[in-house]
Amino acid sequence: MYTITLKILNPRQRTTPMSNIGEYNWPLTTLWVGLVTIGLVAIYSATQGPVAEFLPAYIQVNFYKQLISFGIALMLIVGLQYVSPRTFREGSYVFYVVGLLLMVLTLIFGREVNGATSWLVLGPLNLQTSELMKIATVLAVANYLTSQRNLSAENLKTALTTVLIILVPTVLVFMQNDSGTAIIFLALIPVVLFWSGLPYGISLFIISPAIIGYLSIIAWYWGLAAAVFLTLLVFILQRRTWLTFTSFATGILLVIGVQVALFQVLQPHQRARIEAFTNPSFDPQGAGWNIIQAKTAIGSGGLYGKGYLEGTQTQLRFLPEQWTDFIFCVIGEEFGFAGAGFVVLLLTGFTIVLLRSAANHKHPFAQLVIVSVAAIYFTHFFINIGSATALIPVIGVPLPFISYGGSALITNTLMLGICLNLDFHKRQFSIYR
């Protein structure tokens, strides 16, 4: 039987959090505290300001629930620093299997929230199992890739196995009707394969369908132009005839497929949502409502905002889900371009510091874990802010550390705590190869 033991560092070991506190990644921790603080300020405005009179009692308490979750997350991030880093690698496959079992249980016994069956009720706990599955998948993929003698993902078996490890939870998430989280999982595939040695051209080929599909929704000729341009780039980077032909054929088929789906396959209400993205005024009281209100909130904030608790879109309850998916609009309206820009800078800095931590590490397992976590955060940042600013269609994805959600805050902090642990113990990590 395969067992895993949680190893706790003891004070006699060479590196412990208290004995060598100067090596701790304080910039990353400071950015985390800053993002959570901004989130608490925005959640308070979205639920406790003048808008409270329009909200039911169970939403008004969201600020206090988030405050409690922050306290739990803080204890978690401290406690994780006393766990031996080899625990995360040795237990990765166990965590992965347990995560899959929880996902299956959620499909069978889960509670539906906003159309997605993502929550598993365990007594007083409401567990969003897909969030925990992100961590388990990252650890399992990193362990698998670093266990291969040849780390280059040009090895077809290695690449396909990696994709399979990620696709299994992705399918389960799709079955839960949570397309936003499924996209987060899919975004891991090109990142981990590229970091593990996949050539530039093949990496570009993997991500090109997302670019071509996005532009094809806006206009078919933009999608066609993207297909041609990306095919040329793939040829320049890789110079393989079969890959170039496959890239071009895939792009053309995707452009045609998107157009057929838009006009022949999608239901009227689904087409309305797509039309609302490209032209919100098409249905201002229906499918275009969210985009119009979000753009109005951010645009009306001006340079410095309307003032804290003074945003009319926020306080008069025009913004949809303003404490979660559209919390960036609250910041943009009440603190203006300066406040929204500051948040973007913090998020960018947070991602860069994580990537630098990965680059400075010598162990491939730690590198892959930290890079994968950075990719998850960045995808969240891009989708949430892109949805709020109408750069992409509205997808229900929260802004990490800022949006309301105790389960998301704790699991995102858990991922960060693992990264901080691997970074802190990097000098002694080589003995765990």
Interacting residues of 143 by C-beta distance below 8 A, sequence separation 6+:
89, 92, 93, 365
Report the first-to-last Cα separation within the chain, whole angstroms.
23
Q: In what order do the strands lie in the sheet with 125-128?
A: 111-113, 116-122, 125-128
Tens of pLDDT along the chain (433 residues)?
444 455 555 545 555 555 567 678 899 999 999 999 999 999 999 999 899 888 898 899 999 999 999 999 999 999 998 898 889 999 999 999 999 999 999 999 888 877 778 888 877 778 889 999 999 999 999 999 988 765 454 567 788 899 899 999 999 998 988 888 999 999 999 999 888 888 888 888 888 988 898 888 888 899 999 999 999 999 998 888 888 999 999 999 999 998 888 888 777 766 766 777 777 777 777 767 888 899 999 999 999 999 999 999 999 888 888 999 999 999 999 999 999 999 999 999 999 999 999 999 888 999 999 999 999 999 999 999 998 988 888 888 999 999 999 889 999 999 999 999 999 888 766 545 5
CB atoms within 10 A of CB 252: 16
pTM score of the predicted model: 0.88
Question: H-helix or E-strand containing 117?
Answer: strand 116-122
Residue among 17, 80, 6 nearest 418 (CA): 80
The span from the CA of 235 to the CA of 246, in Å, is 11
Matching residue, tokens 């950075």: 374
Q: Residue 116: in which H helix or E strand, if any?
A: strand 116-122
> What sign does the CA torsion over 406, 409, 412, 415 have?
negative
- A 10 A CB-CB count for 30 gives 14
Nearest to residue 298, comparing CAs of 280, 275, 277, 319?
319
381's enclosing H/E stretch is helix 364-388
Question: C-alpha distances in angstroms, 124 versus 111, 121, 127?
Answer: 13, 7, 10
The predicted structure's pLDDT at residue 375: 96
Query: pLDDT value at position 73?
Result: 95
10 Å Cβ neighbour count for 229? 14
Do the beta carbons of residue 336 and residue 301 sit within 8 Å? yes
Measured CA to CA, the distance from residue 421 to residue 274 in angstroms comes to 43
| Beta carbons of 22 and 427 less than 8 angstroms apart | no
Q: Are 330 and 317 in contact (CB under 8 A)?
A: no
Q: Is 268 buried (19+), middle (13-18) or exposed (0-12) by CB count in 10 A?
A: exposed
Cβ distance 205 to 247 under 8 Å?
yes
The alpha carbon dihedral of 385, 181, 33, 30 has a sign of negative
Structure confidence at residue 99 (pLDDT): 95
Query: How much is the pLDDT for 3?
Result: 47
146: tokens are: 């670093």
